[in-house]
Amino acid sequence: MSEGGGSRGAEEKDIRKAGDSDPGCHQDREYCGSHSVGEGACWEQRTLGPGQQRWHLRPLGSQRVDEKTGLASVLDVNLLGLIEVTLSMLPLVRKARGRVVNVSSILGRVSLGGSGGYCISKYGIEAFSDSLRRELRYFGVKVAIIEPGFFLTGMASSARLCSNIQMLWDQTSSEIREIYGEKYLASYLKNLNELDQRCNKDLSVVTDCMEHALTACHPRTRYSAGWDAKLFFTPLSYLPTFLVDALLYWTSPKPDKAL
């Protein structure tokens, strides 16, 4: 977590040791609320020396969209968790003139139907990161956004997504199931099953962007990771809204009760 020279590896090893030996240190893999954020900030202050630069890299949260409860769950992890962690570390980052690297998504540029809270959270990350970058520029802090396209990960595997969609379908009201119909569900699940073939399997495309954002003298503001992000979604985001709506309308599954 520091941008040193040859001593970087030793410093990181010492940091890991300090964290392992500290009985009050619990590095949760998932955002669990304000208490865990505060503990993380205290741990960083204890383990990192004053001459080290800080940077913060937020991974993607989990996706679960159902009604209001599901939306709130996604926003808590993907957006509010990211904001709270970033703000808690901000005094250290500002003091060290460090960097903030937030992982958003190409779906923070183009919102797809059926993605609900996920797209909302990614648009929120984009807006928060833009505001943060403009505010912290006066203090020498650089803020970058990683916008990955579709990559094959354990979280985005077609089997997991299909299972989640089927579970939500079984839990939804009979009225909603009647409006959308079994044909819509079958078409939606078919598209999800093809994700494994469509998604990029080379995650180094994303990690290379992260590395550049953290180590380059002049990092970019935004990194589009993957050919689908570069050649389809990013250009799509600049088209007039009515064209984007028409394209997505004609290429998406239609509910049974659609007009």
Tell me the average pLDDT across 165-186.
86
Domain count, the chain: 2
Tell me the average pLDDT across 115-133.
92
Same domain, residue pair 207 and 96: yes
Same domain, residue pair 170 and 208: yes
Same domain, residue pair 173 and 76: yes
pLDDT tens, 11-64? 444 433 334 434 333 333 445 555 555 565 555 555 555 555 444 443 333 333
pLDDT at 73: 82
Of the listed 118, 123, 180, 188, which one is catalytic?
Answer: 118
Contact 97, 140 (CB under 8 A): yes
Pick 208 or 159 by higher pLDDT.
208
Dihedral angle at the C-alpha atoms of 210, 235, 62, 60, nearest 10 degrees?
A: 10
pLDDT tens, 82-94? 999 999 999 999 9
118 is catalytic: yes
Query: Domain of 115: which CATH number?
Result: 3.40.50.720
Mean pLDDT of the chain: 78
Same domain, residue pair 72 and 41: no
87 lies in some domain: yes
Same domain, residue pair 41 and 163: no
Q: List Cα–Cα distances, 114 to 51, 167, 188, 221, 252, in angstroms.
A: 47, 15, 10, 28, 10
Tell me the average pLDDT across 187-194.
85
Could you tell me which residues are beta bridge partners of residue 224?
A: 147
Same domain, residue pair 137 and 11: no
pLDDT at 221: 96
Collect all residues with Cβ–Cβ distance below 8 Å to 30 and sequence separation of at least 6.
61, 62, 77
Q: Domain of residue 29: give its range.
A: 7-52
CA dist 128 and 124 (Å) reads 6
Query: What is the C-alpha end-to-end distance of the chain, expressed in Å?
Result: 54
Collect all residues with Cβ–Cβ distance below 8 Å to 154 and sequence separation of at least 6.
160
Same domain, residue pair 100 and 34: no
Same domain, residue pair 19 and 125: no
DSSP symbols for 127-187: HHHHHHHHHHGGGT-EEEEEEE--B--STT-HHHHHHHHHHHHHHS-HHHHHHHHHHHHHH
